């Protein structure tokens, strides 16, 4: 669960508790300290921050009122791109393969320190191994989902725990997007449109079903290959669970 969704759930719970005359979870939970300032901070959110020490990436969050704790997440490079929603993060690490500069994609939780994507090649739908090597122009994280655009114009999405092995297309496609390697979907490839794709990349949660301990969220990943064109993308359901429930 991301920090914004947690805030909404606590607000709903607080309203219900007030009507019942009971203290709300927000009132009952101890107020957490903020994650301390760190040299090498890359990004910070109301619930936490991401920073590096040398070539090691760390993250801290105070979600669920947890005491701040810095957790080692994985490698970092000077070309690393990071997206952080206050709890969940996705990042890239620059490397070299077959004499070519390329990126690897990582993702995990600052709350647990657990990673669910470890060094994924950026273009899972490449026709051969060489075609799968590329660098990432932009990456975004939202709750248990991530998405990125490669410099070659590929648009890719991933869920930590997909609820099904198929996606619903948004917009018109010559070849409908399909799930690859269980967690990944190649939305499409538009060579030459990288800047437009990166600026229009959106990954949002449009609804879901569950309670404070877990459930299913619906994600929509879209881009606009042409500035004046209609968005295209996929709709995909994914499970989530809270680390604050027994």
Q: Tell me if 40 is assigned to some domain.
A: yes
Residue 131 phi/psi, 5-degree rounding, is: -70, -20
User: Is the pLDDT reported for residue 76 higher than 80?
Assistant: yes
User: Is the pLDDT reported for residue 133 higher than 70?
Assistant: yes
C-alpha–C-alpha distance, residues 169 and 189, integer Å: 15
Cα 141 → chain centroid = 2
Q: Tell me if 8 is assigned to some domain.
A: no
Which pTM value belongs to this model? 0.85
Q: What pLDDT, on the 0 to 100 scale, is given for residue 207?
A: 84
Taking the CB of residue 38, how many other CB atoms lie within 10 A of it?
16
Q: Tell me if 127 is assigned to some domain.
A: yes
* Alpha-helical regions (H) of the chain: 3-20, 25-28, 194-200
User: Is the pLDDT reported for residue 49 higher than 90?
Assistant: yes
Q: Tell me if 237 is assigned to some domain.
A: yes
Q: Tell me if 190 is assigned to some domain.
A: yes
Which of 242, 86, 245, 235 has its CA nearest to residue 163? 235
Q: Which residues of 166-179 are buried (b: 16+ CB within 10 A; e: fewer)?
A: ebebbbeeeeebeb
Total structural domains in the chain?
Answer: 1
pLDDT bucket at 60, cuts 50 / 70 / 90: very high
Cβ(176)–Cβ(232) below 8 Å: no
Q: Tell me if 2 is assigned to some domain.
A: no
pLDDT bucket at 182, cuts 50 / 70 / 90: confident
Cβ(62)–Cβ(35) below 8 Å: yes
Average pLDDT, the chain: 87
Instruction: Kindly state the average pLDDT of the residues 53-67.
Output: 94
**């993702």: which residue's tokens?**
107
Q: Tell me if 192 is assigned to some domain.
A: yes
Q: What pLDDT, on the 0 to 100 scale, is given for residue 3?
A: 54
Range of the domain at 115: 30-241
pLDDT bucket at 113, cuts 50 / 70 / 90: very high
Q: Tell me if 24 is assigned to some domain.
A: no
């Amino acid at each position: 669960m991301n920090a914004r969704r947690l805030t909404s759930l606590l607000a709903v719970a607080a309203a219900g508790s007030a009507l019942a005359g009971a203290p709300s979870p927000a009132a009952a939970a101890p107020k957490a300290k903020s994650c301390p300032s760190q040299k090498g901070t890359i990004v910070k959110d109301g619930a936490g921050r991401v920073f590096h020490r040398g070539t090691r990436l760390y993250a801290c969050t105070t979600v669920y009122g947890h005491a701040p704790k810095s957790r080692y997440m994985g490698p970092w490079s000077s070309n690393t791109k990071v997206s952080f929603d206050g709890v969940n993060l996705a990042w890239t690490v620059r490397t070299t393969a077959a004499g070519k500069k390329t990126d690897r994609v990582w993702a995990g939780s600052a709350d647990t320190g657990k990673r669910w994507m470890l060094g994924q090649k950026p273009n899972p739908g490449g026709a051969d191994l060489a075609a799968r090597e590329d660098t990432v122009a932009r990456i975004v994280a939202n709750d248990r989902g991530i998405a990125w655009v490669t410099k070659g114009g590929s648009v890719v999405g991933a869920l930590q725990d997909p609820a099904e092995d198929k996606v619903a297309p948004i917009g018109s496609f010559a070849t409908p997007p399909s799930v690859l390697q269980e967690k990944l979907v190649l939305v499409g490839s538009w060579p030459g449109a990288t800047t437009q794709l990166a600026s229009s990349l959106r990954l949002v949660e449009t609804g879901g079903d569950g309670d404070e301990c877990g459930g299913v969220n619906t994600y929509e990943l879209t881009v606009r290959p042409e500035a004046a064109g209609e968005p295209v993308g996929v709709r995909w359901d994914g499970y989530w669970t809270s680390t604050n429930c027994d």
